[in-house]
Structure 1
Amino acid sequence: MAVSEVKICNLALRKLGARLIESLSDSSQEAVTCNLFYDQVRDAVLREHPWNFAASRIRLAKLADNPAFGFVHQYQLPSDCLHLRQLNSPDDEFVVEGDKILTDRDGASAVYTMKVTNPVLFDPSFVMAFAARLAAEMADDITGSTTKAREMWTLYLNAMQSARLADSAEGREDNIPSDPWLEARGIHGMDSPVWRA
C-alpha cells in the first residue's frame, strides 16, 4: 500500500494503542488530533535533518534593495524553503531574516530543504521517524499519559538516529558548481564539484 497521510497517522496511533482512522475527515478524537498536529510535525521533522529526498537547488533571486548593514547583498528566500542548508560554498556566511537571505556572496545559489507534502515522496526512514514524532506530540491528547509521551519521544530520537545513518549513506553534499556566465565576467569562487552520489 502506498504511503498516505492516513497511513502515517495510523502508524502513530498504533504506537499509542489508539483506535485507527479511516479518514482525516473523521469526527473521532483521533482524526481531529491528527489533523491538528500533522502539518506542523511533518515540517519540524523535515527541518531536523538534511533529508536527501527533500533537497532542492536553486539560483537565488537577488533583491534590488541591499541590507542596511552587515552584508552586501540580499536574496529572496524560496517560498517552499523550510531550512537553508548552504549557499554556493559551505564557507559562505549568510543569515535568514524573515523571507530574505543576507550574504556577501554575489550571484548566490542555495541548497535547501523544501517543504515536501506528498507522502509518496517520503523516504521510508523519514516515515518511521515522522510517525514516532507524531505519536510523541499526540500522546498527551490521545492517551493522557506523560509516560507514554516520554516513551514516544525516546522512540522518535532512536528513529531519527537510524534515519540519519541511512540517509547519509546515500551521498554527500558538496559545493554548487561554477556558473560560466559569472566566471566570464570575472566573478569566481563557484568552482566546486557537484553532488556525487
Structure 2
Amino acid sequence: MASEVDICNLALAHLGDEATVASIEPPEGSAQAEHCARFYPIARDALLEMHPWKFATRRAMLAPQVTAAWNWAYAYAEPAGAVRLLSVLAADAPAQAETQPFEAQATDTGAAIILTNLPSASLLYVSRITDTTKFSPLFVDALGWLLASHLAGPILKGEAGSAMAKDCLRQFMLSMSNAKTSNANQQMVRQEHTAPWIVARG
C-alpha cells in the first residue's frame, strides 16, 4: 500500500520532477517536501469530501447536546473528523434508508452541531482518514493527480506551472471517474423481498 511519501513522490513524478522526498512529517528540508507537507492534507481532505468512499464511510450514534435547537427538536454534536455528512437516520434504520431532515450548524462557540427532529439519531458520514493503508488503489491514483495540480504552481511556477496544473486536473477528472465507478461497484447488492401474503396470492 502507498504511504504519504509514496503519494507525494507520485505527484512529483506527474510533474516531471526527478526529486523524491523521504519525509513530510516533518518535512525533510527540501522545497519539494515543504510543498508536499503543505498541500498533501488539503488535497487528501478535498478528495475525501468529494465522494462517499466506502473505506471512509462511518456510522455513529450522535451525542445529544443541551444547546438550544431553535426550530428543531434535537441538537447533536457532530462527530470529530467528519468531512461530509451523508444522512441522519434512526438508530435501527438500515444505511440505505432515506435520510431524515437535518441541518448542520455551529454554536456561538464554534462547536459543530447537527439539528434534526429525530430522537436517538445516528449519522452516516465520510470521515477524515489519514491512514493511507485504508485508501483504495484508484483513490491513491486520483489523489496523486490532485496533489500534482496543487504542486504545479509552486514547483514549476509561471505559465508552465499554470499549464501543468490544468493538465493534472484533467488527468485527475479521468482518474476520479474510474475511482468513483469502482467504489460504486463495491455496494452490497440489495435482495428484493416479496411478502409471504403476495406469494400466497400467486
2:166 partner SS: helix
Per the TM alignment, residue 173 of structure 1 is displaced from its structure 2 partner at its CA by 9.8
1:57 matches 2:94:
no
1:28 matches 2:33:
no
Name the residue aligned to 1:84: 85
For the structure 1 residues 6 and 91, does the alpha-carbon distance in structure 2 shift closer, same or farther, using more than 3 Å as the test? closer
Name the residue aligned to 1:134: 147
Name the residue aligned to 1:192: none
Name the residue aligned to 1:125: 138
User: How many angstroms apart in 1 are the aligned matches of 2:167 and 2:65?
Assistant: 47
For the structure 1 residues 95 and 116, does the alpha-carbon distance in structure 2 shift closer, same or farther, using more than 3 Å as the test? same
Query: Which of 122, 128, 131 is residue 109 of structure 1 equivalent to?
Result: 122
Name the residue aligned to 1:193: none
Could you tell me which runs of 5 or more consecutive residues in structure 1 were left unpaired when the two chains were aligned. 175-197
Name the residue aligned to 1:185: none
For the structure 1 residues 72 and 123, does the alpha-carbon distance in structure 2 shift closer, same or farther, using more than 3 Å as the test? same
1:163 matches 2:176:
no
Per the TM alignment, residue 41 of structure 1 is displaced from its structure 2 partner at its CA by 1.2
TM-score by length of 2: 0.81
Name the residue aligned to 2:13: 14
| 52-61 vs 24-33, greater mean Cα deviation | 24-33
Per the TM alignment, residue 172 of structure 1 is displaced from its structure 2 partner at its CA by 5.2
1:87 partner SS: strand
User: How many angstroms apart in 1 are the aligned matches of 2:180 and 2:82?
Assistant: 20
Per the TM alignment, residue 91 of structure 1 is displaced from its structure 2 partner at its CA by 3.7
1:83 partner SS: strand
Per the TM alignment, residue 109 of structure 1 is displaced from its structure 2 partner at its CA by 0.5
Name the residue aligned to 1:146: 162
Percent of aligned positions with the same letter in both sequences? 30
Larger Rg: 2
The alignment's C-alpha RMSD in Å is 1.5
Aligned length: 172
Name the residue aligned to 2:197: none
TM-score by length of 1: 0.83
Amino acid corresponding to residue 165 of structure 2 in structure 1: A
For the structure 1 residues 173 and 84, does the alpha-carbon distance in structure 2 shift closer, same or farther, using more than 3 Å as the test? farther
Amino acid corresponding to residue 125 of structure 1 in structure 2: L
Amino acid corresponding to residue 100 of structure 2 in structure 1: D
User: How many angstroms apart in 2 are the aligned matches of 1:91 and 1:164?
Assistant: 22
